Structure formats: structure tokens, C-alpha cells
Structure 1
Amino acid sequence: MSESSSQVQAAVADFADHARLVLGRSEHTVRGYQSDLAQLAGTVERFEDFTLDALRRWLADAVRQGKARSTLARRTAAVRAFSTWAYNQGYLDTDVAARLVAPKITRPLPTVLKPETATALVQDPMRATDAAGGTGASGTGADTPEALRDTAMLELLYATGMRVSELTGLNVVDIDLERRMAKVTGKGNKQRVVPFGSEAANAVRTWLNRGRSDLVAEAGEQALFVGSRGRRIDQRQVRRVVERAAADVGAGGVTPHSLRHTAATHLLEGGADLRMVQELLGHSSLQTTQIYTHVSAQRLKKVYDQAHPRA
């Protein structure tokens, strides 16, 4: 490929740095941008060929290939962000992709647990006892450091609705047990402070007082939750903890994100304001939070159908 024909591809690398360092996009998002734009650069090699018609043909090719609507929406978002950056950098005379419209995505309603199931799930690692011959989440007893940790993680996930990445990113100093508040770092490195209840506070306090020191590999480790090697726990291990606890209470297919959905729905059903739930979850747009009103409405309809004599 000649120097002139690699123009767009070369710019993609600079844009990736911009998305990461200036826009604050996650590594996952940046990699997605790079992958999509690398495919675009294979057909639109120079900025003089970067036209609305060319971009529409690129998306149309994806449709013919049977790509999912979510993939088309992601590609549209990537090229729109790249177009705006290229225009600001002087590569383009106009923000070409600004007129591209992303396809609407039909999002399935999230899995939501009943309150009693959610309560049973978060208590599961501590339910069994050695005297009864049971096992906790680590498989070696309910009072092990692993079981204490798993209970604290599950309680925090359900209490706050935080993302699994936010949970694993917590440091000890981010937790205020007296005020029952946690400082959470969300998408784009945006920080927010979220409250949690007494049950979660008790579980975290027990983990800190009786479990964490037995697992920590180094005295200087800052992570609130550590894995089997004594360093910051990873997201995959948290997912396994949630899946195992859910299976134990007969709730298959539950993920950490399910607990996030469940926390939001239960708050709304309990009378919480939508704006408050938006702040708690760290949504930049209220529209994202509004999906939980649909979940609550469906539950209301189901209860109505079961309870009203003329339903």
C-alpha cells in the first residue's frame, strides 16, 4: 500500500490515542473502534474518498454480510467519532459522518431477580457451616477468607448496582464503612459516590477484619478484594462467584450485570426516583436508566393480571 493510500489507516492509530486519552474511552471500546475503522480503511483509504456515500456503502456491505444490528450500531458510532476527530484535525472539510444514523437496537429486557431470590443469593456463601458439613463459595467452609470475600462482593453488587469492573477497581480507601459510602470509578474514569446498606457494610467489615489479611500477597496491596494469588481480583473470578451462588439458589443464568439490573428495579419498585437511580448506576443519559421503568411496568402488569378479579 502506498503512503497516500494508507492515509486513513495511519490516522486511525492517532484517533485511538485520542479516544483513549482525551475522550476517556475504555480499552475495550478503543479496540472496537480500531477493529471497525481498520475494516473501513480497507475500502476508504484516503480522506478524499471519505464521503457519506462511501460510508453508507460500507455499512450496506455489513448488512449484506448478515451482521447484527448491534454490530452496525457499533460501526456507526466508531465512524461518527472518527469523522468528528478528523474534521477537528483538518483532515476533512466537513464532519462527513455526522449525518449517519445508527440503526435502532431492540434490547431485551434485563434479567431481574425476585427480592427473596436476590437476598438468598447474596447470603449464599455464608449459609453453610462446617459443623453441618456444608461448604461456602470457596468450597472449604462458610467462614473461610474466600467465603467472607464472596459474601462481601455479592452484598456490594446488589446494594449499589455497580458494574463488575467498578467492583474489582475498588481500593480499601474507597470504602467508608461509617458513612456507608463507596467511591466508584466508572466509565471514562468518571467517579461517583454511592451509598450501601448495613448488610453490605457488615459483610465488608467482616471481610476486612477476618479475611482479607489471610489472602493479601503484599502488605502494600490497595485492592479491596483480592483473588487466590493475593492480588486484585479479576472480573472473571467475580462472575464465577455470582454464577455459582445463583446456581445454588436455583437461579441459573445470573451474572453480575443481572444484580445491577435487579438493584435498579428493586429501588424503583420501592419508590426511588429515576434520577437517583441514574446517579447511583452512573448512567450519563437518563434514557439508559429508563429501561428499568419498562421492567417495573411488566411486573406490575403481571401482578395485576394475577390479582384483579376482572383482569
Structure 2
Amino acid sequence: MNYSRDSLPPINLIPLKDKTDNREERVRKNRLIKIATPTDIRFVKVLEFLRSNNLSVNSCKLYERELKRFLGWTQLSYHELRPRHLALYKEYLRDEVQTDTGKPLSKSSINAGISALKSFFKWMCNTYPDIMAANPTLGVKLEKIPLPPAQSLTAEQMERVWSALELLGETKQRDTALVHILSHGLRAGEIVELNVGSFDGKLLFLPDTKTNEPRLVPLRKESREVLTEYLLSREELGEELNSLTPLMISHHASYKGERLSYHGIYFAVEKIGELAGIEELHPHSFRHTYATDLLMLGIDPSHARKLTGHTSEKAFRRYTLRSEQEAAIAAYYRAIGEEPEKES
């Protein structure tokens, strides 16, 4: 059957608007932007930045998350960004982004996002000056946050930790050596990377640290002996050790004999905390304690920072505040002829 052009029925154009469009509109209205991996060429530079910097596992995840969030917020190319755009983005983080529980971001979370951008664009300016002639984050200030106090363990809590180690089974010797290393101020991520060759019988050598500077950590006599005994016990069990063998190994059924992971260290410390009756004990608790103890011993703050690997004097200030406070209290009691009570 033949149809002429005039006999064809009229064509009605139906706008395509499905549930997905409605949902996206609701998302925009609720000011919630999902952090998804950008598909444009800009993200290639982010990946290059993450791979070219000596970042810890946690820092790498944080930087990637925050940079994805930023690229999801703007479609501007890097060379088009100006300080005003970064100022608007900070307002977006402060006023519009919410946590999973629907609360505004904390000042610390806002600073984490801005710090990630500052690091990335500083790298971009140094690596690709032809793309970025000026750093758009230079004028963006971080939120002011009161310096948190050092969360050091008391002498009594440390005694409970040592006692708890005696209650462990298969992991007792490994975890005892682990706590001795942690009690010398090492970060969990730094311990993961340690090899047998990192220990010369007296010092620990950290070639790759958070600050990108190698560090030597002197160990106490008892700690040296504990670590040496731990390594000897592994050899007695038939393990062949060399300079590249992991210093700390896992006892998990699926990873037995492999390098102890970041999460493995946290799990081990959490278990010790439960046995010791110390809530929320984590690897960094020992780092806080070590830094505080160094200053309480009267070690020069600049030397203490070298031992702990702190580059920021401001970040280290929390420990000097504690030692200064203790010194002031001791001076007061000396002045009035009383002996200060010892902290339990």
C-alpha cells in the first residue's frame, strides 16, 4: 500500500525524562554530589600525582577521594581555575557537603579536602608549569582548629599493655616485638615497610617515611633484645631470612608468613587493648606516648622531632605543651616545698 507524504500521521515528540532524571534533580536539590571517578583527561594527572608521591596507603585514599570530589564539582580545566573558584569550593565543602549521617563536614574534614588540593596543585605547578602558571590554592586558608591534646598512655596503662601481651598465644612474640617498635614512635605505615635489613641490631633505618626523608630510630636495649629474639625464633622455625624479608609477618590463616599489613597492625593493637582494658587503643597511641616521653626526659624539641619524624613544628606543639605544663607543675611544688604526686 502506498502512502503519500500528506497522508502520514503527525509525529508527536515525547520528551525523554525518566526516573533517573528525576533522581538526579533531587540529588542536586539536596546538594548531594556522589564522588565518582571522573572520566575526563583531568583525572589522568591525579593518578600521576598519586603514583609519583611517596604517600601512605591512607593518605593516597584520602587524596584520591578529595580530588575526585573536586573534579566532580567543577568541569573547568586546570588552566582555567582561579583563586575565586577554590574559595567557592571551600564554601561548598562547608555549607553543602554532608557526611553519611547527614551532618555537615567537620573543620578537620574540610581541611583534609583543601590540603589535598593544595598538595596536588603545588605538584601541578612544579611538574607542568606550561599548564598551570599559578597555584590557585595559595590564597585559600585552612579552617582554624584548636590544637588537640596529646593522647599519651599513662605509665599504668603501659604496664597493662605489657601484661596483656603475656596473655597472647601464637602471636605473643610477634606482637611483643611490634609494641616495642611502636613504642619508639613509628607510624603503622612505616612498620609495614620495614625489612629485616632495616634493623642493624641497634637502630631501625626508615628509608621511606611520610616526610620523604630517611630516618634513624635508636632502640632501647630491651627492645633490641626482644626484636633479635623474635627474628631468631623465626629462623629456628625454618624461615630463611635475608635483608629484604619483612620484619613483621602475619599469622592470619590466609596470609601466614607474608608481610604484616597496615590493617593487621591495627587489629593486633586493638586485640591488645581489649585484653588490657584500654578503650580505643590504636598504634598512634604509642607514638603520642613516645613523643611526650622524649620531652619529659628533657630532650631538645628539635632532636625529639628528628626522632619522631615530625616536620611541622606546629603539629609537634601538642607534645611540648604537655611537657611545659608538667615542668610548671613540678616547679610549683618545688617552690612550696612539696613533692609532686607521680602520675599513675
Q: 1:153 and 2:193 equivalent?
A: no
Q: Is the 8 A contact 2:50 2:64 kept in 1?
A: no
1:15-35 deviation digits (Å, cap 9, x = unpaired) = 4313431x4333433332332
SS class of match (2:194):
coil
Q: CA deviation at 1:55?
A: 1.6
CA distance 1:91–1:16, change in 2 (3 Å): same
What is the identity, as a one-letter code, of the residue corresponding to 2:92?
D
Please give the residue correspondences for 1:61-140 in structure 2 after superposition, counting only pairs within 5 Å. 61-65=92-96, 66-88=104-126, 89=128, 90-126=130-166, 136-138=167-169
* 1:182 Cα offset (Å): 0.8
C-alpha spacing 1:147/1:87, structure 2 compared with 1 (3 Å) = closer
Contact 2:185–2:290 under 8 Å retained in 1: yes
Shift of 1:175: 0.9
The answer (yes or no) to whether the contact 1:20–1:26 under 8 Å persists in 2 is: no
Deviations, residues 206-252 of structure 1 (Å, cap 9, x unaligned): 21222465395x76770111111111112222223323333333332
Calculate the TM-score normalised by the size of structure 2.
0.72
Output one character per residue of 1:85-127: Cα deviation in whole Å (capped at 9) or x when no partner: 444522234322211111123342132112243244235323x
Output the CA distance in 2 between the equivalents of 1:252 and 1:10: 46
1:170 paired to 2:194: yes
SS of equivalent residue, structure 1 residue 100: coil
Q: 8 Å contact 2:125–2:134 — kept in the other structure?
A: yes
Q: Is the 8 A contact 2:174 2:248 kept in 1?
A: yes
Q: CA deviation at 1:154?
A: 0.9
Identity %: 22
- Distance of aligned partners of 1:15 and 1:304 in 2 relative to their CA distance in 1, 3 Å threshold: same
- Amino acid across the alignment from 2:224: A
Corresponding position: 1:262 with 2:285? no
Distance 1:212 1:120 in 2: 30
Q: How many residues align?
A: 286
Which one is further off, 226-235 or 85-94?
85-94
Cα distance in structure 2, aligned partners of 1:15 and 1:239: 29
SS in 1 for 2:215: strand
Q: In the TM superposition, what are the counterparts of 1:232-311 in structure 2 within 5 Å?
A: 232-300=259-327
- Normalising by structure 1, report the TM-score: 0.79
CA distance in 1, matches of 2:168, 2:47: 40
The equivalent of 2:59 in structure 1 is: 29
Distance in 1 (CA, whole Å) between partners of 2:188 and 2:235 is 19
SS, match of residue 183 in structure 1: strand
- Report whether the alignment pairs 1:226 with 2:249: yes
Is 1:183 equivalent to 2:183 in the alignment? no
Q: For residues 59 and 222 of structure 2, what CA distance do their matches in structure 1 show?
A: 35
Gapped runs of 5+ residues in structure 2? 1-36, 97-103
Q: Tell me how far apart the structure 2 counterparts of residues 226 and 247 of structure 1 sit (CA, whole Å).
A: 22
Q: Does the C-alpha gap of structure 1 residues 183 and 26 become closer, same or farther in structure 2, counting only changes over 3 Å?
A: same
Match of 1:207 in 2: 230
In structure 1, stretches of 5+ residues that fail to align are 1-5, 127-135, 139-143
Q: Shift of the alpha carbon at 1:7?
A: 10
Q: Determine whether 1:197 maps to 2:220.
A: yes
Contact residue 199 and residue 205 of structure 2 kept, 8 A = yes
- Shift of residue 197, structure 1, vs aligned partner: 0.6
C-alpha distance in 1 between matches for 2:300 and 2:215: 18
Farther off after superposition, 285-294 or 7-16: 7-16
| Cα gap change, 1:98 to 1:35, in 2 (>3 Å) | same
Higher helix share: 1
Letter in 2 for 1:182: L
Residues 226 and 267 (structure 1 numbering): CA distance in 2 closer, same or farther, change over 3 Å? same
* Distance in 2, Cα, partners of 1:248 & 1:225: 21
Distance 2:188 2:238 in 1: 20
Tell me the amino acid that sits aligned with residue 277 of structure 2: G
